[in-house]
Amino acid sequence: MTPSVRILLCDDHAVVRAGLLALLGGEPDIDVVGEAGSGEEAVALAAQLTPDVVLMDLQLGSGIDGVEATRRIATAGAGAVNVLVLTTYDTDADITRAIEAGATGYLLKAERPEELFAAIRAAAQGRTTLSPPVASRVMARMRSPRPTLTERELDILGQLSQGLGNRDIARALFISEATVKTHLGRIYEKLDVDTRAGAVSVAKEQRLLP
Amino acid sequence: MTPSVRILLCDDHAVVRAGLLALLGGEPDIDVVGEAGSGEEAVALAAQLTPDVVLMDLQLGSGIDGVEATRRIATAGAGAVNVLVLTTYDTDADITRAIEAGATGYLLKAERPEELFAAIRAAAQGRTTLSPPVASRVMARMRSPRPTLTERELDILGQLSQGLGNRDIARALFISEATVKTHLGRIYEKLDVDTRAGAVSVAKEQRLLP
DNA sequence: GGCCCCGTCAGCCGATCGGTTGATGCGGAG
DNA sequence: CTCCGCATCAACCGATCGGCTGACGGGGCC
């Protein structure tokens, strides 16, 4: 018979971890070998325990976030550790970042538990599983590539969401006001808004900022 | 011996519900008698099953939100149904709204599972339990009452976060631009910002808008 | 080498915003 | 009845924003 799949849980909510632990306890071929409540802990435990799959939440209260933890785990040494993202959000930004960071799969917590079990078994063999809504978004993005904000534009957007004026943004980033305005114009285009307030609103909703 | 506590789960994430179900299954004196994936479903099942406690998440993807569901359940008929909020967020706005809506307790998912069990048993008897961080916030708010936005100010803030200019906000709410500016000034004061972008940022972070 | 994206900068101008002062009416609390 | 919070409106003014046009250099790609 096939050996059990060894799992490391990473979620900052103790109740959720306990729930997953109890849930996965019902599957004989799935063994939870560790729990992490932060990204740092997950990276350390992944290196130490070398589980088959890390079940990773993206938003982890403090410290490094799930994307960064995923990146470190996925790119570490042997690379035999597969990261399966299990999270609430299905925004383009999150999905894109997680995949770029090397996630093996991306599941939503809204998924049925059976799908989770199946995805875990698939991930253990390096096979990818995406929740239907996630897959849809990925396909949609392939078909009509939506404009992505550049690094610099995200910098401006970050300052903008602090409520700073153009002059202060310019000073904070060591550029001229004219440049700030140029970037803002492009940001408005890409986010399909025409005011700073609208840009901040979209940025927060799409979780474009950390 | 004391009879079992009858529980109704309400969370829009199937995996989380299954996790809680498995977790609570380990407690002999706690019986999960129903599951709801939406606020509407929770209200209907609460009326039909009359559980001792409803475990309610606040953010429910679509339909009515957890606060509204809590209000309807708490104010329905006999009122013997206690709502225990179990959620991720500990912002003042969420806590305040939930308590006003009639929640019996407010727990964070970051809490230890044992605390959850204890809180459920307490809630079954109508006793209140608050997570430590939540209790702290409540106390802090009592000591230094932070300014609360009025209904009207929230209206303006809502329009503002759509990126509308003062003129458009005025038209949308059937008031004059002068009034919009007056409200905005007070909103800036209360949120401790001085630009519209900053106000939107704070509003999103504090979850002041639905 | 040419092309295009990115980041940088400039100047202009009308529209809008933010701050201020002051005023009215209405409703509830004391 | 009076006080106060809330919502409403007015007029003013300097500062800022948004949109525009145009420009330059660097880096990657073919």
What are residue B5's DSSP bridge partners? B30
- Among B13, B22, B164, beta carbon nearest to A109: B13
- Among B162, B163, B204, beta carbon nearest to A204: B204
Q: How many residues does chain B have?
A: 210
pLDDT higher than 90, residue A66: yes
B108: tokens are 């964070």
pLDDT higher than 70, residue A88: yes
Q: What percent of chain A has pLDDT over 90?
A: 88
Separation in Å: D15 C1' and A177 CA: 14
Please give the interface size between A and B, counted as residue pairs whose CB atoms are below 8 Å apart.
124
Q: What is the pLDDT of residues B142-178, one digit of tens each?
A: 887 778 999 999 999 999 999 999 999 999 999 999 9
- Confidence (pLDDT) at B77: 66
Place of tokens 């925004």: A91
Model-level pTM?
0.92
- For chain B, residues with pLDDT lower than 50 are none
Separation in Å: D17 C1' and A49 CA: 55
**Chain B closest CA to A96's CA: distance in Å?**
22
Instruction: Name residues whose C-beta falls within 8 Å of residue B105's C-beta, 6 or more positions apart in sequence.
Output: B82, B84, B85, B119, B122, B123, B127, B128, B129, B130
The DSSP secondary structure of B116-138, one letter per residue, reads HHHHHHHHHTT---B-HHHHHHH
The Cα–Cα gap between A96 and B39 comes to 31
Cβ within 8 Å, pair A197-B193:
no
Q: Which helix (H) or strand (E) holds B67?
A: helix B66-74
Q: Which residue has the higher pLDDT, A144 or B161?
A: B161
Cβ within 8 Å, pair A201-B163:
yes
Separation in Å: C26 C1' and B148 CA: 21
Protein-covered nucleotides of chain D (CB closer than 7 Å) are: 6-11, 16-23
- The DSSP output letter for B143 is H
Q: Which helix (H) or strand (E) holds A83?
A: strand A82-87
Helix pair B196-205, A196-205: axis angle to 10 deg: 20
For the beta carbon of residue A175, count every other beta carbon within 10 angstroms.
Answer: 16
A71: tokens are 């990146």
Q: Which residues in A lie closer than 8 A to residue B109 (C-beta atoms)?
A: 13-16
